[in-house]
Structure 1
Amino acid sequence: MNSLTNKAVLVTGGASGLGAAIVTALQKAGARPYVLDRQEPADGVPWVECDLADTRAAELATRQLAEQAGELDAVVTAAGTDTPGRLADVPAEIWERVVTVDLLATAAVIRAALPSLERSRGTVVTVASTLGVKAVSDATAYCAAKFGVVGFTRALAAELAGSVGVTLLIPGGMRTAFFDDRDEQYRPGPDAVLNDPAHVADAVLFALSQPAGCAVREMVVCAEQESSYP
């Protein structure tokens, strides 16, 4: 396994949830995390404030952090949002924001980071969801975005083979604040079995630590009793 010591890793959504867990794991491994988020990350981690719904701003912020880091060794697109509800009931601007943040910003950040990643022969880890392989009612925006991340990442892996490592991460539900702002009907019930985001972060570090010439193409990481997979 390759050491992550002093490796520069850009994490979108690194101020909370899975992104924050990945930042913590990177720090413990001796890496140098950099964060794109609307909120400031903990522990003085270098960051740029950015609303990923503005994809051009996301590209600019990515290039800014790449320059600050000197060179990026990896990018992890952990930022995500969701507003569940029936298609007819979710306002168009909110529906489209979910798709933009979860899918289009993923592509925008990676596009902006590619020159740096190609020079460092780095790695990309995209974060989809079990709802990127299994569709459910009242989640048209989220499923559209996460199914898109799956297809985008598989195509990207073929496109960048031999120059940049590409891993697709498919996590199940996690114990984070992701569900907090939802209507009660869309929150996990009291008996729901959710995964620890730290466990998922460990899987991300596993993908980032692969030796030259070896790529972890896809990982499904979820609680043993995950209800949305398979």
Structure 2
Amino acid sequence: MGAAVIRAVQKRGGTAVALDRQQPPNGIPWVKADLSDPQAAEPALAAAEEAVGPLTGVVTAAGVDACGRIEDVDLDDWVRVIQVNLIGTAAIARAAVPRLEANHGRIVTVASTLGLRALSDATAYCASKFGVVGFSRALAVETAGRVGVTMLVPGGMQTAFFDGRPEQYKPGPDAMLNDPDAVAEAVVYALGQPAGVEIRELVVCPSVEPSWP
């Protein structure tokens, strides 16, 4: 989804850069960063600032999963989901807040409908995204009046997120998934609110999304 957000920003004449382990497609500007290591957040944002100038908006779109019953999922894989999805989100936010406060900026954290509803064989993902929900709400309280905070709650996304999974954990052929470009438009809308106006939480899902409400 990060690449879609950057395209949406660029469409409006803005500048943006992706933080990722691998270079995004189509020549999207990027900074190499592995957000499973929380120490990577500060230098990554510093490099992003160097590339695009003072930061006015940050979106924490990194996400991984490890599907399966808890006793069957490798412990390192389970922990990595928490490290990337929750700790990575917090690390980026921690590095972003002083930068965004200086520029009256905003941060959009990315939770999930599975941060509001539990699902079998998804303990790591649910734990991480329930954590992002709590973190985002607390961050909004803590930074009220200083930094804008929006929590995005997307349904299933039509991205590479599901690639490489066992068939039982892939969406079925009739699954209705979010178009990343449509969700990116909602993110840019949240980032573009005038000073003093906050979209605190934003649920974006297909009309037939089975995990909502």
Contact conserved, 1:63 with 1:113, CA < 8 A, in 2?
A: no
The residue aligned with 1:165 is 148
Offset at residue 227 of structure 1 (A): 0.5
Aligned counterpart, 1:115: 98
- Does structure 1 retain, via aligned residues, the 8 Å contact 2:3–2:24? yes
1:98 aligned partner, one-letter code: V
- Greater mean deviation of Cα atoms: 81-90 or 33-42: 33-42
Instruction: Give the alignment partner of residue 163 of structure 2, picking from 166, 177, 180.
Output: 180
How many Å separate the matches in 1 of 2:13 and 2:142?
Answer: 30
Partner of 1:125 in structure 2? 108
Which sections of structure 1, spanning at least 5 residues, go unmatched?
1-17
Deviations 1:26-76 (A, max 9, x none): 110111111100111244443211111111022221222224433100100
Question: Which of residues 116, 129, 138 is equivalent to 2:121?
Answer: 138
Which residue of 48, 59, 69 maps to 2:52?
69
| 1:27 aligned to which of 10, 22, 31 | 10
User: Aligned partners of 2:165 and 2:137: how far apart in 1?
Assistant: 31
Q: CA RMSD in A?
A: 1.1
| 8 A contact 2:16–2:52 mirrored in 1 | no
Q: Does the 8 Å contact 2:55/2:103 carry over to 1?
A: yes
Aligned partner of 1:171: which letter?
P
Structure 2 segments unaligned to the other structure (5+ residues): none
Q: Measure how far apart 1:172 and its partner are.
A: 0.1
**Equivalent residue, structure 2, for 1:38:** 21
Residues 66, 116 of structure 1: 8 Å contact kept: no
Aligned residues: 213
Contact kept in structure 1, 2:113 and 2:211, CA below 8 Å: yes
Aligned identity (percent) is 60
Q: What's the secondary structure of 1:166's corresponding residue?
A: strand
User: Which portions of structure 1, spanning 4 or more consecutive aligned residues, are displaced by more than 6 angstroms?
Assistant: none
The whole-number CA distance in structure 2 between the counterparts of 1:57 and 1:213 is: 31
TM-score (ref. length: structure 2):
0.97
**In structure 2, what is the equivalent of residue 84 of structure 1?**
67
Work out whether 1:105 is the aligned partner of 2:67: no
**Counterpart amino acid of residue 137 in structure 2:** R
Give me the TM-score of the superposition, normalised by structure 1: 0.90
Give the partner amino acid of 1:143: C
Counterpart-to-counterpart distance in 1, 2:195 and 2:76: 43
